[in-house]
A = this chain, B = another copy of it.
Amino acid sequence: MTTPPPLPATGAWLPGDPVGERRFFTFATDRRFALDSGRTLSDVVVAYETWGTLDADGRNAVLLCHAWTGDSHAAGPAGRGHLEPGWWNAMVGPGKPIDTNRYFVVCANVLGGCQGSTGPSSPHPDDGLPYGSRFPVVTIRDMVRAQARLADHLGVFQWLAVVGGSMGGMQALEWAVMYPRRVRSLVAVATCMQATAQQIAWGAIGRRAIRLDPRWRGGDYYDAAPGDGPSEGLAIARMVAQVTFRSDNVFTDRFGRELADRGDTGDTLGMWQQFEVERYLGHHGNKLARRFDANSYLAIGKAMDLHDIARGRGSIERAIARIQVPTMAVGIWSDMLYPSYQQRQLHEAVAANDVQSEYVEIDSPHGHDAFLINGDQIAGPIERFIGDVSKTS
């Protein structure tokens, strides 16, 4: 039996680590990049990957937007630089629904992330030390503004489609609202127009758990030794999320009341007879701590709480009125985190303006994660939807 290596102090990708398929674009080296919070950043790096080739007319570009703990590696195998295979491998590639023989596909690590884009683990330009607690609050709109700079850099004036699930869907929505002339269609999966109080509550609990971890050190833990980072707080935060990503039914079917460890005595508070579901959640929490940075988890979670397409635009209706392109909203009936009524609301809000809109429901008991687990159900609709848009002028 091998002992797992100690958890890193931070699960961030750091310069010097294997680059894998990542490429890097740096901007705001002269003029500072203004954030919604009123703060600014300079020397902003966006890590991204591309698949396929941009047409001469630049009209076959598809932007994929990743979710909370995702990164730019949407497609491709695991390997050096990529601990995990692409998060939408089944959907993206040659001959696949989002066909890289046909489309130029781009995916960028979000601002605030930890897989190469500027985030809390990145060096602060002033002193080269990690931002840590100095990293500003960022919003979904800030993430999208950074992606717009990348689009300029790549020569993409207009995306054929912007596609994303969960937090990726928030970005897709903001793209269509912020830059209506730069988006020809959007696909928003298992997401919402504004974070609800319950969604904020889940996020806030996870954040408070990370901050409780004494190894978080107020956010400045980057010089800690391996195993001495805030992995326990991050694991707890992930456990909260993991339950909301799944469903009661599936947990019952998969784990029921199976025991992972009977324990030999009844004398340690609460540890006698650990259930399999506890072991599973603990495993996933620890696994995330190995590949993800706790501060990025905080920063991105906060960005999701702040997500509200109505903010500064008067109302949801006025924001949605800016969307004048074909829209596909995808829901999952068993999703307890982003219940399907939220995607139906999006569809209805767009359709109310006589704009082409459709609602597709994934029939799966797997909850929120069905957008990854049962991607096959939306493969056909997304392939057809983007294909149809590509035929329009």
By a beta-carbon cutoff of 8 Å, the part of chain A in contact with chain B is: 35, 37-39, 120, 133-137, 194-198, 200-202, 204-205, 207-209, 211-214, 219, 232-233, 235-236, 239-240, 243, 247-248, 251-252, 254-257, 265-270, 272-273, 275-278, 281-282, 295, 298-299, 301-302, 305-306, 308, 336, 339
Residues of B with C-beta under 8 A to A247 = 198
Residues of B with C-beta under 8 A to A205 = 236, 239-240, 243, 281
Contact assessment for B208 and A273 in the assembled complex, using a CB-CB cutoff below 8 Å? no
Contact assessment for B301 and A270 in the assembled complex, using a CB-CB cutoff below 8 Å? yes
A239 to B299, CA, bound (A): 20
A167 to B275, CA, bound (A): 19
CB distance from A391 to the nearest CB of B (A): 39
Contact assessment for B136 and A267 in the assembled complex, using a CB-CB cutoff below 8 Å? yes
Residue among A120, A136, A235 having the largest count of chain B Cβ atoms under 10 Å = A136
Contact assessment for A275 and B136 in the assembled complex, using a CB-CB cutoff below 8 Å? no
Contact assessment for B137 and A266 in the assembled complex, using a CB-CB cutoff below 8 Å? yes
A298 to B269, CA, bound (A): 7
Can you list the 3 inter-chain pairs with the closest CB atoms, starting with the nearest?
A37-B266, A197-B251, A197-B255
Given contacts A200-B275, A200-B277, A275-B305, could you give 19 more A-B pairs where the C-beta distance is less than 8 Å?
Answer: A38-B265, A39-B267, A133-B267, A137-B272, A196-B256, A198-B247, A200-B257, A201-B251, A201-B277, A205-B239, A208-B232, A208-B235, A209-B209, A211-B270, A212-B213, A240-B240, A269-B295, A269-B298, A270-B298
Residues of B with C-beta under 8 A to A278 = 200-201, 204
A201 to B214, CA, bound (A): 24
A202 to B305, CA, bound (A): 21
Contact assessment for B272 and A302 in the assembled complex, using a CB-CB cutoff below 8 Å? yes
Contact assessment for B251 and A137 in the assembled complex, using a CB-CB cutoff below 8 Å? no
- A270's partner among B194, B273, B302 (CB-CB below 8 A) is B302
Contact assessment for A212 and B233 in the assembled complex, using a CB-CB cutoff below 8 Å? yes
A277 to B122, CA, bound (A): 31
- A212's partner among B236, B240, B282 (CB-CB below 8 A) is B236
Contact assessment for A267 and B204 in the assembled complex, using a CB-CB cutoff below 8 Å? no
Given A270-B137, A270-B301, A251 contacting B196 (CB threshold 8 A): yes
A350 to B240, CA, bound (A): 35
Residues of B with C-beta under 8 A to A298 = 269-270
| 6 examples of A-B residue contacts, CB within 8 angstroms | A35-B266, A39-B265, A200-B277, A269-B299, A269-B302, A273-B306
- A133's partner among B256, B269, B282 (CB-CB below 8 A) is B269
CB distance from A161 to the nearest CB of B (A): 29
A198 to B305, CA, bound (A): 24
Residues of B with C-beta under 8 A to A135 = 269
Residues of B with C-beta under 8 A to A302 = 269-270, 272
Residues of B with C-beta under 8 A to A266 = 35, 37-39, 136-137
Contact assessment for B204 and A272 in the assembled complex, using a CB-CB cutoff below 8 Å? no
Contact assessment for A204 and B269 in the assembled complex, using a CB-CB cutoff below 8 Å? no
Residues of B with C-beta under 8 A to A196 = 248, 251-252, 256-257
A235 to B281, CA, bound (A): 21
Residue among A198, A243, A282 having the largest count of chain B Cβ atoms under 10 Å = A198
Nearest CB in chain B to that of A240: its residue: B205
Residues of B with C-beta under 8 A to A38 = 265-266
Given A201-B277, A251-B201, A256-B197, A207 contacting B270 (CB threshold 8 A): yes
Contact assessment for B267 and A134 in the assembled complex, using a CB-CB cutoff below 8 Å? yes
A380 to B213, CA, bound (A): 48
A327 to B51, CA, bound (A): 63
A275 to B302, CA, bound (A): 11
A298 to B207, CA, bound (A): 21
